[in-house]
Amino acid sequence: MATTLVRPRTHTTPAARAHKAPALRHLGPNWYACVMGTAILANAAATLPYQLPGQRVACQLVWALSAALLAVLLTARAGHWLYHRDQARAHLLDPAVAPFYGCLAMAILAVGAGTLIVGKDLIGTGAAVAVDTVLFTAGTAIGLVVAVAVPYLMVVRHKVEPAMATPVWLLPLVAPMVSAAVGPLLIPHLPAGQPRETLLLACYAMFGVSLLATLLMLPLIFGRLIVGGPLPLVLTPTLFLVLGPLGQSTTAVNQLADVAPGAIDGTYAGALDAFAIVYGVPVMGFALLWLALAAAMLVRAARGGMGFAMTWWALTFPLGTCVTGAAGLAHHTGLTAFAWLATAFLLALLTAWLLAAAHTVRGVLSGRLPVR
């Protein structure tokens, strides 16, 4: 009588998967902020009213770095979901981490915009349009999903208390505004007529989605500061995240006004041009007010012993949106004051990026990072 030996099935346990890539276990979605901050540095410097010799080349190098960082992080995060699915699910159910999924969409959109702004010098306009089309579509889809999914989780799954409110909650809500700000770059490359007008109005719709959602969230954040006092030292840099929707919405209305004449009826195009100034100037004024408050809190935290954390990257992207917002106002108003304001924002952005990047590289090389 023959005996058949059957090899028992083997199952890959979570522990076995975790053993394959232990360094990825704590690689959270907040790491996409590195890509955002790097890409916005290239985009903002390239659109600054004042250009120095070699500035364009420097922007190209920074954009290439942001694209490489995005590719590396997308691969690493895919490994995180593959080998550490339990931790990935835990991140989604953690109200302190889940909002950072908005960074994924914004990182993709920022790199895509940089492809058309400076990357076209390296790969050609046709290739740049194709790449940005893919990245804009993917980033917009992810951003809209996250803008719904994260608030849904906060309502039905997360255990949230008023004292937990921080500017991090804005991250999933700002992603559609980034789409509204970078979408105009593609409008001139679409066929005239319905395609251009559709994308133009879609960008305005995403502008409204993000703006109204932000207006609902900001009172919770400001109320938490007034009633609960300063944020923990490590979270203090996140106060600058409030500048994100302010600067990005100003950028959006100015960018949309620039392309409106070729996409919509002239009567509406004139109104949209006026709206860019009527909306952008007051919002930029409030951005300066919040910047003063956030900077004062940051100085206080530094004196209190605030050390480096990945939250330092929260200083970069919001400042970058203020650069592009002020540059847009300089273009539409013709005021030199806005051009100088954009330059001042860029210098602050460059300083913040150098500090965050240097500490991040040092942390990775020393083995202290990645951490959540």
Tokens of 118: 């400076």
Q: Is residue 246 part of a domain?
A: yes
pLDDT in the model for residue 6: 44
Q: Do residues 339 and 56 lie in contact, with contact meaning Cβ atoms separated by under 8 Å?
A: no
What distances in angstroms separate CA 202 from CA 38, 140, 180, 205, 280, one per listed residue? 27, 11, 8, 5, 19
Q: Is residue 315 part of a domain?
A: yes
Strand ranges for the chain from DSSP E: none
With a CB cutoff of 8 Å and minimum separation 6, the contacts of 257 are 269, 272, 273, 275, 276, 332
Q: Is residue 90 part of a domain?
A: yes
59: buried, middle or exposed (CB in 10 Å: 19+, 13-18, 0-12)?
buried
User: Which tens digit of pLDDT belongs to each residue from 214-228?
Assistant: 999 999 999 999 999
Q: Which of 34-38, 139-143, 154-158, 299-303 has the lowest mean pLDDT?
A: 154-158
Whole-model pTM over 0.85: yes
- Tell me how many domains the chain contains: 1
Q: Do residues 40 and 110 lie in contact, with contact meaning Cβ atoms separated by under 8 Å?
A: yes
Res 22 pLDDT > 90: no
| Cβ-count burial 196-233 (b if 16+ within 10 Å, e if not) | bbebbeebbebbebbbebbeebbeebeebbeeeeebeb
pLDDT in the model for residue 1: 40
Q: Do residues 319 and 244 lie in contact, with contact meaning Cβ atoms separated by under 8 Å?
A: no
Q: Is residue 185 part of a domain?
A: yes
The C-alpha atoms of residue 2 and residue 23 are separated, in whole angstroms, by 48
User: Which tens digit of pLDDT belongs to each residue from 237-272?
Assistant: 999 999 999 999 999 999 999 999 999 988 899 999
Q: Is residue 251 part of a domain?
A: yes
Residue 201 domain boundaries: 24-357
User: Which tens digit of pLDDT belongs to each residue from 184-195?
Assistant: 999 999 999 999
Residue in 186, 190, 57 with CA at minimum distance from that of residue 132: 186
pLDDT in the model for residue 73: 95
Q: Is residue 161 part of a domain?
A: yes
pLDDT in the model for residue 160: 86
356: buried, middle or exposed (CB in 10 Å: 19+, 13-18, 0-12)?
buried
Q: Provide the CB-side half-sphere exposure for 10 (13 A, CA).
A: 4
CATH number, domain at 280?
1.50.10.150
Q: What is the mean pLDDT of residues 103-125?
A: 96
What distances in angstroms separate CA 181 from CA 93, 123, 159, 316, one per listed residue? 30, 23, 33, 17
Q: Is residue 352 part of a domain?
A: yes
The C-alpha atoms of residue 83 and residue 316 are separated, in whole angstroms, by 31
Q: Is residue 79 part of a domain?
A: yes
User: Which tens digit of pLDDT belongs to each residue from 279-334?
Assistant: 999 999 999 999 999 999 999 999 999 999 999 999 999 999 999 999 999 999 99
